[in-house]
């Protein structure tokens, strides 16, 4: 008996590997090492420049302090406000555009050709980052917050319509059928059967998107789309790093507040 | 939900009169905010440019076709750089994010002050866009792929650490206790009790972020941080629209491939 337990339970236990098939594990390990060598050697890092950059970086970071919130003519607050308005309006416009597209991209609501068209719109909007959309918007609509508004609204479509469509596809068909059985028309059907099921999640997501749009509004300004990004870019190119530090701190603060608010709202709604 | 009596007939309504008024009041506030935001944005818009936009769009569109296919050969190196920025940036981010996540999770943090610091790192990294990180790093490290890689890394820490620490907080405590009962030290508990539970999440988050980073690294070139964005910026500035459309198509293809790879790998892990 003693003998058996000894053979059954060896003293040395080894952690099972994360990837069970050994050939796959080894080919992944060797492949990643080869890739790292290839990538690092093609990066052509200029050590000299990096070393030079270290004292420069120190000075750069020192010049961030103390952050200057009250810089000339209150541009910081003006930019922040413009960003907030831009984020609000582009979230609202983006969601208004997303709702029909999201309904069309749900396979259980729409016929195939509508479904394909809407999915294509979503894929196109998701592929390009807001900043590329902003470059084209600035070319078309001129400098200023309107271009940023267009770029952010288009970016919102890809995000919101996709999640809305997925949520509708996952909604319970039993409720939808029950409302249909009362003789409801299409709009009543959407309003009383689909909307109550997806609403809580959509409210949470719209606050989340507002948060994203505010953050993105800080970068569309770099290519001329208005908002706090324009102020930030000006501050950087004029080497006013204390103003830049103030702007970054305000952005972080607002994002923290929005994140806190959105997580609370989501808990409250669900 | 109420049933009201109207001319001897029972009428079903979704809300009571009071609820309806409160609902309308919220809508009124919301719509006023949106209208106010719209007024501010529209005051800063030159409407002449906006009216001109369709003509401009048609003009640029006609200049963009046909794409200059021969140019795509010159884009191989930039695409390779872009992929390297995303991959190495994700690697940097994961190396830093895992310890930060362990410090930020309520059940593994060494001290509550450490937790607050870790949470601040997460929020700060998440709220500053990678383009702004790149803008600052180009000052310190000089223009090039290195600045882009570090920018992507810094930006991704918050995202990865947030998702990882949330999954650490949700682990099954029984398994950790079982490991503890064998007399394991704190470190051994972590290695044998906690890490195996969160390893799939860590791998999944890394892949997911890599996919996002491919998209983000396509634009870092706009501020001189390497990748295909450099070519995009150059082509737009020199009004070489046929090159622009080629670059956009190449970005589209890269993003589709990366999305496919990420979906496959995540499917294999989970």
Q: Using one digit for the tens of pLDDT, what is the confidence trace for B166-199? A: 888 888 888 888 888 988 888 888 888 888 888 8
Task: Write out chain B residues lying below 8 Å of A56, CB-based.
Answer: 139-140
Chain B nearest CA to A118, separation (Å): 17
Do the Cβ atoms of A141 and B141 come within 8 Å?
no
Q: What is the pLDDT of residue B46?
A: 76
Q: Are B180 and B116 in contact (CB under 8 A)?
A: no
- CA B33, B34, B39, B44 torsion: positive or negative? positive
- Please indicate whether, in this complex, the C-beta atoms of B132 and A218 are within 8 angstroms of each other: yes
Measured in angstroms, the CA of A50 and the nearest CA of chain B are apart by 5
- The per-residue pLDDT of chain A, averaged, comes to 81
Per-residue model confidence as pLDDT tens digits over B112-149: 888 889 888 888 888 778 888 888 888 788 788 888 89
Report the pLDDT averaged over residues B7-27.
80
- Compute the residue count for chain A: 270
Q: Which residue of B lies nearest to A58 if distances are taken between CA atoms? A: B140
Q: What is the DSSP string of chain B?
A: -EEEEETTEEEEESS-HHHHHHHHHHHHHHHHHHHHHHHHHHHT--HHHHHHHHHHHHHHHHHH-S--GGGGGGGHHHHHHHHHHHHHHHHHHHHHHHHHHHHHSTTT-S-HHHHHHHHHHHHHHHHS-HHHHHHHHHHHH-SSHHHHHHHHHHHHHHHHHHHHHHHHHTS-HHHHHHHHHTT--HHHHIIIIIHHHHHHHHHHHHHHHHHHHHHHHTTGGGGT-SSHHHHHHHHHHTT-HHHHHHHHHHHHHHHHHHHHHHHHHHHHH-
| A182 interface with B at CB cutoff 8 Å | no
Tokens read off for B190 = 């972590």
Angle between helices B130-141 and A228-237 (to 10 degrees): 0
Q: Which of residues 81-140 of A touch B (CB under 8 A)?
A: 81-82, 85-86, 88-89, 92, 127-129, 131-132, 135-136, 139-140
B61 confidence band (pLDDT: 50, 70, 90):
confident
Query: What pLDDT shows up at residue A1?
Result: 46
Compare CB distances from A141 to B36, B50, B127 and report the shortest one's residue: B50
Q: Which of A89, A129, A135 is closest, CB to CB, to B38? A: A89
Residues A85-133: tens digit of each pLDDT: 888 999 999 999 999 998 888 888 888 888 888 888 888 888 888 888 8
Q: Which residues of A touch B38 (CB under 8 A)?
A: 89
Q: What pLDDT does A167 receive?
A: 87
Among A18, A42, A92, whose Cβ lies nearest the Cβ of B84?
A: A42
- Nearest by CB: A53 against B45, B141, B196: B141
Tell me the C-alpha distance between A122 and A158, whole Å.
4
B240 shares contact with chain A (CB less than 8 Å): no
Which pLDDT score is estimated for B93?
92
Residues of A in contact with B49 (CB under 8 A): 140-142
For residue B84, give the nearest of A43, A54, A127 by CB distance. A43
Averaged pLDDT for residues A242-260? 82
Q: What DSSP string describes chain A?
A: -HHHHHHHS-S---PPPSS--HHHHHHHHHHHHHHHHHHHHHH---HHHHHHHHHHHHHHHHTT-S--TT-GGGHHHHHHHHHHHHHHHHHHHHHHHHHHHHHHT-TTTS-HHHHHHHHHHHHHHHHS-HHHHHHHHHHHH-SSHHHHHHHHHHHHHHHHHHHHHHHHHHS-HHHHHHHHHTT--HHHHIIIIIHHHHHHHHHHHHHHHHHHHHHHHHHHGGGT--SHHHHHHHHHHTT-HHHHHHHHHHHHHHHHHHHHHHHHHHHHH-
Over range A224-239, report the average pLDDT. Answer: 81
Residue A208: predicted pLDDT = 82
Q: What is the pLDDT of residue A9?
A: 65
d(CA A176, CA B37): 37
Residue of B nearest to A19 (CA): B269
Is A233:A167 a contact under the CB 8 Å cutoff? no
| CB nearest to B49's CB, from A135, A141, A226 | A141
Chain B, 173 to 232: residues with Cβ < 8 Å from chain A are 192, 196, 199, 203, 215-216, 218-219, 222-223, 232
Largest Cα span, chain A = 88
Tell me if A139 and B60 make a contact (CB, 8 A cut-off): yes
pTM over 0.90: no
Count the neighbouring beta carbons within 10 Å of the beta carbon of residue B183. 7
Position B2 pLDDT exceeds 80: no
Chain B interface includes A49 (CB < 8 A): yes
Give the tens place of pLDDT for each residue, B76-119.
888 888 888 899 999 999 999 999 998 888 888 888 888 889 88
ipTM comes to: 0.76
In whole angstroms, what is the distance from residue B32 CA to residue A152 CA?
Answer: 21
CB neighbour class for B28 (10 Å; exposed up to 12, middle 13-18, buried from 19): exposed
Judged by a CB distance cut-off of 8 A, whether residue B60 touches chain A is yes
A83, A219, A255: which to substitute to probe chain B, counting the most B Cβ within 10 Å? A219
Contacts of A49 in chain B (CB under 8 A): 141-142
* 8 Å CB contact of B38 and A46: no
Which residue of chain A comes nearest to B38, CA vs CA? A89
Q: How far is CA B261 from CA B208, B210, B258, in A?
A: 10, 10, 5
CB < 8 Å to B216, chain A:
129
- Please compute the mean of the pLDDT values over residues B201-227 and round it to a whole number: 87
Residue A147 is predicted with a pLDDT of 87
Joined together, the tokens standing for residue B99 give 């310890």
Residue B94: what pLDDT?
92
Given this model, what pLDDT does residue A212 score?
86
Domains in chain A: boundaries: 76-269
* A162-188 average pLDDT score: 86
Dihedral pair phi/psi, residue A225, rounded to 5°: -90, 15
Task: Give percent of chain A above pLDDT 70.
Answer: 91
> pLDDT for B240-267, tens place per residue?
888 888 888 888 888 888 888 888 888 7
Considering the domain delimited by A76-269, tell me its CATH architecture: Orthogonal Bundle (1.10)
Q: What confidence tier does A7 reach under pLDDT thresholds 50, 70, 90? A: low
- pLDDT band at residue B153 under the 50/70/90 scheme: very high
């Amino acid at each position: 008996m003693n003998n058996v337990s000894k053979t059954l339970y060896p003293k040395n236990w080894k952690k099972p590997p994360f990837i069970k098939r050994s050939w796959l594990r080894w080919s992944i390990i060797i492949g990643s090492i080869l890739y790292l060598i290839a990538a690092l050697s093609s990066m052509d890092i200029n050590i000299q420049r990096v070393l030079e950059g270290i004292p420069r970086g120190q000075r750069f970071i020192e010049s961030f302090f103390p952050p200057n919130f009250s810089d000339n003519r209150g541009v910081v607050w003006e930019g922040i406000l413009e960003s907030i308005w831009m984020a609000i309006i582009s979230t609202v416009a983006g969601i208004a555009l997303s709702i029909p597209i999201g309904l069309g991209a749900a396979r259980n609501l729409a016929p195939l050709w509508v479904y394909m068209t809407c999915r294509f719109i979503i894929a196109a909007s998701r592929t390009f980052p807001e900043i590329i959309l902003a470059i084209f918007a600035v070319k078309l609509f001129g400098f200023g917050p309107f271009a940023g508004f267009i770029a952010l609204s288009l970016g919102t479509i890809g995000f919101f319509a996709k999640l809305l469509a997925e949520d509708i596809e996952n909604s319970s068909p039993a409720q939808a059928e029950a409302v249909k059985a009362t003789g409801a028309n299409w709009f009543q059907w959407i309003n009383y059967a689909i909307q109550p099921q997806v609403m809580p999640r959509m409210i949470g997501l719209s606050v989340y998107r507002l948060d994203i749009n505010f953050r993105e509004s800080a970068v569309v300004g770099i290519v001329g789309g208005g908002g706090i990004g324009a102020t930030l870019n000006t501050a950087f190119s004029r080497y006013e790093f204390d103003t830049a530090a103030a702007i970054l701190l305000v952005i972080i603060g607002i994002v923290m507040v929005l994140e806190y608010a959105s997580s609370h709202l989501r808990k409250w709604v669900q | 939900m109420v049933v009201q009596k109207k001319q001897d007939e029972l009428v079903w309504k979704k809300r009571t009169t009071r609820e309806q008024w409160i609902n309308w009041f919220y809508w009124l506030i919301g719509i006023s905010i949106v209208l106010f935001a719209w007024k501010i944005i529209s005051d800063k818009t030159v409407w002449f440019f906006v009216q001109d936009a369709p003509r401009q769009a048609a003009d640029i569109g006609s200049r963009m076709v046909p794409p200059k296919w021969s140019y795509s050969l010159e884009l191989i190196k930039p695409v390779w750089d872009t992929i390297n920025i995303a991959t190495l940036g994700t690697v940097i981010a994961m190396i830093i994010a895992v310890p930060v996540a362990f410090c930020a999770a309520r059940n593994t943090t060494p001290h509550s002050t450490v937790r607050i610091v870790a949470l601040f790192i997460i929020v700060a990294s998440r709220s500053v866009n990678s383009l702004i990180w790149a803008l600052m790093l180009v000052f310190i490290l000089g223009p090039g792929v290195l600045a882009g890689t570090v920018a992507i890394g810094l930006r991704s820490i918050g995202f990865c650490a947030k998702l990882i620490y949330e999954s650490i907080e949700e682990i099954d405590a029984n398994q950790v206790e079982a490991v503890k009962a064998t007399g394991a030290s704190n470190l051994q508990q972590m290695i044998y009790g906690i890490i195996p539970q969160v390893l799939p999440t860590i791998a999944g988050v890394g892949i997911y972020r890599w996919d996002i980073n491919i998209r983000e690294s396509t634009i870092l070139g706009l501020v001189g941080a390497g990748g295909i964005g450099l070519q995009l910026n150059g082509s737009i500035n020199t009004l070489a629209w046929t090159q622009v459309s080629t670059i956009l198509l190449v970005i589209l293809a890269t993003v589709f491939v990366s999305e496919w790879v990420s979906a496959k790998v995540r499917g294999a892990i989970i």
